[in-house]
Structure 1
């Protein structure tokens, strides 16, 4: 049983363009629907200057998915397709990005990849490819499937996702987890990794379908409802960013419950990192921290999804 919380020190060398912390905080508010785009840009305009223009700030903080491809969809070591699955308690049918190692001679452990609050964007698809490159079968559902899928624009994706019934969204991911665990190519060992909203979904799955999930890695995700936490059985690798005040406010209470219910967990707090530090499409990205968090995630899945 592991119950530990660690602080990972920030790299000594910081990015060359120093963006004021309040700009990251405002982007987090904007990304989660607490302020609109006009308010976000107005606030940025108030701190622009001293060599950093409004356009530079806005561009740095807004995702540029051309930067977010570490593994090409044409990579010779993987095969990427799309698969649908039934979701009778959700939106009827789900669809996701299904990626396997190129040659699958036997069944493999499977990992559900859960997007942020804007649908299946290119960054999340790349995360699925990274998992396949590491030897897992990865499946990244798009909760916007019932509305036509991720629209290619994050602002529109956020509006679309916020229009959906939250309970049905959760049922879609429960259905996706069950579909993936019982997939013909699966060993029956299921992991889940998610980011932001997806981190919440990982925590929710651990508390809602404890017999299904074998390992969970929530990146900066809020916890499941307090009354459900006693159900958690899967080991958790919890990745948090020190400057993420919104999500971190939940951690003391969540950790107390994890200890109370004897959950096997590790928490890593990444010093001076912002919410979204793993996402390599914006200025929030911290390469050394993201790489370390990812290596820890792969090691965690290798340990807990092994069949022997």
Structure 2
């Protein structure tokens, strides 16, 4: 594939992140038949940010855009596969590598070390700006800037909430098991529960009741904040699911919850003007 000279031919295809552990037998692989896929670099804040994109092949019409926000493990094979799944539904799906200035998540085989040495150093303000540049780039490379959504997983689930309060051009957002409360630091000065009143985008939150890091009281606090703000948001909690229940390459995967969450996300997008073209 060769959309233009931003195609990055020097980057190796992403495998699964070492810090995520052994790849489970439940792993789903989505092929690229009927798709255009590739690794690109996006101009952002005087840098060139790597990103993976997938979209239906041969489409001349501008396509609805979904920005896929990475897990803590970065834009590894699972996130790329999610882009292909969305492309099969008629979307231009793009996943920017939001840690690229701080380091390479594929260099870590321990999740604690990955968080301490890399992820904790990534400022929310930097991420918001990089997502803005991603949206602009996608809208000038086959996407429809008037039909823009985000979805994020784990670390990216929290970011999806924040971006829904940041960008008024978003039509919809879906946050998968994203952290809702937490300690405030220089890099993470606010959390979703603090920003409920600022939401300008309808958000679907998808959570597992067995998640040991996102507790029922955290979800209750977020629901109260959303209700007080009269925000357009809905939170779905799956009783039998834990954290990362959509991650089919991990033992956390809970197929029934994952399938229902995916269906609800697509319905949410459609409900808010983000139907995949021709799907």
Q: Report TM bin, short chain.
A: 0.7 to 0.9
Question: CA 1:104–1:150 in 2, change beyond 3 Å: closer, same or farther?
Answer: farther
1:301 to 265, 269, 274: 269
Q: Shift of the alpha carbon at 1:101?
A: 0.8
- Greater CA deviation, 240-249 or 186-195? 240-249
Equivalent-residue separation in structure 2 for 1:63 and 1:190 (angstroms): 34
Q: Shift of the alpha carbon at 1:179?
A: 3.4
1:173 to 108, 113, 131: 131
Q: Shift of the alpha carbon at 1:142?
A: 1.1
The two structures have a TM-score, normalised by structure 1, of 0.71
The two structures have a TM-score, normalised by structure 2, of 0.77
Equivalent-residue separation in structure 1 for 2:166 and 2:102 (angstroms): 26
Equivalent-residue separation in structure 1 for 2:165 and 2:93 (angstroms): 21
Q: Shift of the alpha carbon at 1:300?
A: 1.5
Output the aligned Cα RMSD: 2.6
Aligned to 2:118: 160
Equivalent-residue separation in structure 1 for 2:235 and 2:83 (angstroms): 22
- Greater CA deviation, 229-238 or 139-148? 139-148
Aligned to 1:247: 214
Q: Shift of the alpha carbon at 1:233?
A: 2.0
Question: CA 1:215–1:261 in 2, change beyond 3 Å: closer, same or farther?
Answer: same
Conserved? CA contact 2:102–2:121, under 8 Å: no
Conserved? CA contact 2:196–2:231, under 8 Å: no
Conserved? CA contact 1:208–1:228, under 8 Å: no
Conserved? CA contact 2:51–2:97, under 8 Å: yes
Aligned pairs, number: 243
Output one character per residue of 1:61-116: Cα deviation in whole Å (capped at 9) or x when no partner: 834178534302xx22211112222221xx73322101101221311111000111
1:193 to 151, 172, 177: 151
Structure with higher Rg: it is 1
Equivalent-residue separation in structure 1 for 2:103 and 2:192 (angstroms): 30
Are 2:26 and 1:71 equivalent residues in the alignment? Answer: no
Equivalent-residue separation in structure 2 for 1:239 and 1:183 (angstroms): 31
Are 2:242 and 1:274 equivalent residues in the alignment? Answer: yes
Conserved? CA contact 2:35–2:88, under 8 Å: yes
Output one character per residue of 1:35-64: Cα deviation in whole Å (capped at 9) or x when no partner: xx9xxxxxxxxxxxxxxxxxxxxxxx8341
Conserved? CA contact 2:43–2:49, under 8 Å: yes
Structure 2 unaligned blocks of 5 or more: 1-18, 181-190
1:139 to 94, 100, 114: 94
Conserved? CA contact 1:87–1:94, under 8 Å: yes
Conserved? CA contact 2:65–2:148, under 8 Å: yes
1:108 to 52, 63, 69: 63
Are 2:220 and 1:263 equivalent residues in the alignment? Answer: no
Greater helix percent: which structure?
A: 1
Q: Shift of the alpha carbon at 1:197?
A: 0.6
Aligned to 2:183: none
Equivalent-residue separation in structure 2 for 1:275 and 1:196 (angstroms): 8
Conserved? CA contact 1:113–1:138, under 8 Å: yes
Equivalent-residue separation in structure 2 for 1:106 and 1:202 (angstroms): 27
* Secondary structure of residue in 2 paired with 1:246: coil
Aligned to 1:41: none
* Secondary structure of residue in 2 paired with 1:143: coil
